[in-house]
Amino acid sequence: MHHLNLGLFNYQITFTYNLLKELYGASILDKLDNRLANISRFLELKIFKNGIQSIFRIIANEYRNLIKVMIFVLDNLDISESLNNMLLNLYEVWNNMYIISRFEEFDDQNLKDFEVI
């Protein structure tokens, strides 16, 4: 799990931020960070008041919190509709794979579902 949180998801967030910055400038990152900072408080959900532009200081537990909210942060972002849909699909697929990977036991159907994803 640590590899998923600190490695792969870190790469996915970094890729998303770099892509959006290259296409839309630094102001889009401020918008993402603002959306993260404005998520309502919820028990056991870390709020990113300062955004995540300094992603290298985030720990695994904070990545798990990001996994829970990133799809909502990206939804209806002021970017092209096709790019927005691709990013939303990427994060939806990631979330589904992540959920399945956290199962303690797998059956044949779980493995088939994982292959489909």
Residue 115 in contact with residue 93, Cβ under 8 Å?
no
Highest mean pLDDT among 30-34, 62-66, 82-86: 82-86
The percentage of the chain sitting over the pLDDT mark of 90, rounded to a whole number, equals 26
pLDDT at 1: 47
Q: How confident is the model at residue 55 (pLDDT cuts 50, 70, 90)?
A: low
The encoded tokens of residue 69 equal: 């909210």
Indicate if the pLDDT at residue 3 is higher than 50.
no
User: Both ends of the chain: CA-CA distance in Å?
Assistant: 18
The encoded tokens of residue 114 equal: 């994982």
pLDDT at 89: 93
pLDDT at 86: 95
Using one digit for the tens of pLDDT, what is the confidence trace for 75-110?
Answer: 999 999 999 999 999 999 888 887 777 777 777 887
Indicate if the pLDDT at residue 56 is higher than 80.
no
